[in-house]
């Protein structure tokens, strides 16, 4: 995690004393980003928060869209979702971090519910159940599997939480030196494991993370059913992103 990876910082609407910093890594996200940012604009959270878009030099209208809603945009010198999240954290001011994917929307009560939990001393990470906004049986199945998986592993010493929505304390994040930039995929599960030494994972049941199913749509049902478990198993056994060439990270 190094400030040298930051190419440029664009200050739009500086937030003086934000309690929460919402950090969104992007790379060519014009199709999804505006809905995500709109969901953050209409939060019922009464305290100050900032929105940081951390971009890997997008070629589309991502930056143009971000300028309409974000408090700050950080342009990274290199691509990489772990690096992007770390760059966002390095320019943040909040006591708590909410990492959110560019294709994931939140309900209006999201930040309020996160704040209630993450400020507790025994809580290290907060997340929500996942639903896909494209409703079909395949997506319902995947969301049920993922939500059950998170709930099961959250009770162990190796919780597994996806980076589409994860909230952590600033002090804990920097103590473990943020996301592992050597991992191209599953860097979120890796961080969840490492940060859990500071406390438990809290799954807030009265809010939701609403995400796209673009990876499943791109791969197809059969390929997804084979590749997702295979990639995760490979990581679990080796602690390396063995599926990175297949997965081709989006950001």
Tens digit of pLDDT for each residue in 65-98? 999 999 999 999 999 999 999 999 999 999 999 9
pLDDT at 210: 92
pLDDT at 122: 97
pLDDT at 217: 61
pLDDT at 248: 53
Q: First CA to last CA across the chain, in angstroms?
A: 17
Residues in the chain where the model's pLDDT stays below 50: 245-247, 250-251
Neighbour count for residue 47 (Cβ, 10 Å): 12
Rg (CA), the chain: 17
pLDDT at 135: 72
- What residues form DSSP beta bridges with 100? 165
Integer CA distances (angstroms), 59 to 88, 103, 222, in order: 19, 17, 32
Give CATH superfamily name and number for 3-214: Spore Coat Polysaccharide Biosynthesis Protein SpsA; Chain A (3.90.550.10)
pLDDT at 183: 86
The Cα 83–Cα 73 span in angstroms is 14
Instruction: Record the pTM.
Output: 0.89
pLDDT at 250: 47
């Amino acid at each position: 995690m190094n400030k040298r990876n930051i190419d440029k910082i664009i200050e739009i609407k500086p937030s003086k004393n934000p309690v929460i910093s919402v950090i969104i890594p992007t790379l060519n996200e014009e199709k999804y980003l505006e809905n995500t940012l709109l969901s953050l604009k209409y939060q019922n959270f009464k305290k100050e928060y900032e929105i940081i878009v951390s971009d890997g030099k997008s070629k589309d209208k991502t930056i143009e869209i971000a300028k309409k809603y974000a408090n700050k945009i950080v342009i990274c010198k290199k691509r990489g979702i772990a690096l992007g999240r770390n760059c966002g954290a390095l320019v943040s001011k909040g006591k708590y971090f909410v990492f959110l994917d560019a294709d994931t929307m939140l309900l209006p009560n999201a930040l309020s519910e996160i704040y209630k939990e993450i400020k507790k001393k025994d809580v290290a990470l907060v997340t929500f159940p996942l639903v896909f906004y494209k409703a079909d049986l395949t997506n319902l199945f995947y969301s049920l599997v993922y939500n059950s998986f998170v709930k099961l592993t959250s009770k162990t010493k190796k919780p597994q939480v996806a980076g589409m929505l994860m909230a952590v304390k600033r002090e804990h994040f920097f103590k473990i030196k943020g996301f592992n930039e050597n991992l191209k995929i599953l860097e979120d599960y890796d961080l969840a494991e490492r940060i859990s030494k500071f406390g438990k994972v809290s799954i807030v049941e009265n809010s939701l993370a609403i995400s796209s199913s673009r990876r499943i749509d791109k791969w197809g049902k059969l390929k997804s059913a084979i590749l997702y478990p295979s990639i995760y198993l490979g990581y679990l056994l080796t602690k390396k992103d063995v599926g990175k060439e297949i997965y081709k990270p989006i950001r």
